[in-house]
Amino acid sequence: MSGSDDSEIAGMETAEAERDVADHVLAEERLSAVEAFIREYGVQALDTALLAGALFRHLREESRWALETAVSAAATRGVDGYLVVRLPKMPNDLTEVSYLTGGAQLNLGFP
């Protein structure tokens, strides 16, 4: 390997180590919030939230807003219905989120 390749690899390793340290500090700061979440909803809900977080991390701002609005509507007492999330095939497409009252129809199209 050339010296520039070694330097680039060393820079990438340093950046990764710095991200790991920052993530660890952030995790320590959020520990009380995580403990409160587990007390309120349980460990299974935390596992589900962590898995779902990876799905929604890269959503566009419009899609994230739609999701938050639909989840808020779904949490309203006295309203019964279904939260429907349609994930796009392409990363730049919008995620469709809606809240339906009454019956819902689910169509699965497999290529």
* pLDDT tens-digit map of 16-64: 989 888 888 888 888 888 888 889 989 988 888 888 777 777 777 877 7
pTM: 0.39
HEC per residue, 61-80: HHHHHHHHHHHHHHCCCCCC
List the beta bridge partners of residue 81: 101
Q: Are 36 and 64 within one domain?
A: no
- Establish if 79 belongs to a structural domain: yes
Report if residue 29 sits inside a domain. Answer: yes
pLDDT (tens digit per residue) in 70-91? 777 767 766 677 777 777 777 7
Supply the range of the domain harboring residue 88: 59-103
Query: Do 48 and 66 fall within a single domain?
Result: no
Helix (H, G, I), strand (E, B) or coil at 97: strand
Query: Is residue 33 domain-shared with residue 19, that is, in the same domain?
Result: yes
